[in-house]
Amino acid sequence: MKKYIFLIACCLLTLTSYSQRQSLTSQEQDSLNIWQLAKYDGASALGGLFHAYSRPIHWDGDDWATFGFVAGGTALLYFVDDETSEFFRNQEDSSPTILKEFGERFGSPQVTYGITGSVYLFGLFTKNEPVRETGVLLISSATAVGLIQTVLKTTVGRSRPQNNEGKFAFKPFSGEAGFRSFPSGHTILSFTTAYAISKQFDNPWVKAGIYTVGMISPISRIVNGAHWLTDVALSIAISVVTVDAIDNYLNAKKRYPGEDDRKKGITWNINFGVGSMGIVGRF
């Protein structure tokens, strides 16, 4: 175990040293060999990971307003968790088997990291900068949300709907499989993958199609009684915030300058008015 810890520490120190270097131009990156590119991309992924975790410290008024909006919306959904769970679970027998199987598989760590790894390796060996950046965004985001959901599942210890103990049942730090409802790991991994990939497209219809695929796992998990609606809603919020934070880091640091001219993602704004409040997304 000590040897593994030592190797991990050495890797982190190496990647950290690379992350401190000035970002390379597209031409400079093209001149690097595969191993050098992999180290550069590893540093980018590690920097994005640290950036995502440190963002709450630097939140401004708009960020806290968004946090309040998400918290308030989740609180409202909590009131109807029992009713929505019952409704979705009643649809299980009539739900297409193929969608349930797809939802189960697409949100699994094996499939998620299979997709992220394949995208990145293709970009690395072909030296395709846009694909490499997408792969780095996918890997860094999946790792960040994966660690978050692992910690929260254990510490929160929320009972799954299928336990039939109600939405107020919690056993923090119990480690029991039936008390790992929040957050939804399948939702976090599947929607993180879909959201990160969707950022590479400008067409809103393409984005909508990718989002739809990313929502199959979350919905299927509610249908089979593994998670509450609030579990899924907050998991999606975690995915969006994490991917956006890492994507902004890669852009701000100009880690992949060849993508500067490409429009990235959707810009979300919260609008407040007299007797009204809403979210506006600009594609």
Write out pLDDT tens, residues 200-248.
888 999 999 999 999 999 999 999 999 999 999 999 999 999 999 999 9
The pLDDT confidence band at residue 62, using thresholds 50, 70 and 90, is: confident
Q: What is the pTM of this model?
A: 0.82
> What percent of the chain has pLDDT above 70?
83
Residue 179 has pLDDT above 50, yes or no: yes
pLDDT tens-digit map of 157-166: 999 999 999 9
pLDDT for 260: 53
- Bridge partners, residue 270, by sequence: 279
Question: Which residue blocks in the chain are alpha helix, DSSP H?
Answer: 2-19, 26-30, 34-54, 61-78, 81-89, 97-106, 109-125, 129-156, 185-198, 204-223, 229-252
Task: Give the class (CATH, top level) of 29-264.
Answer: mainly alpha
186 touches 218 (CB < 8 A):
yes
Could you please report the per-residue DSSP string of 174-211? Answer: ---GGG--SS-HHHHHHHHHHHHHHTT---HHHHHHHH
Residue 278 CB neighbours (<10 A): 10
Q: In the numeric block, which tokens belong to residue 155?
A: 């510490």
Q: What is the mean pLDDT of residues 188-208?
A: 93
> What percent of the chain has pLDDT above 90?
58
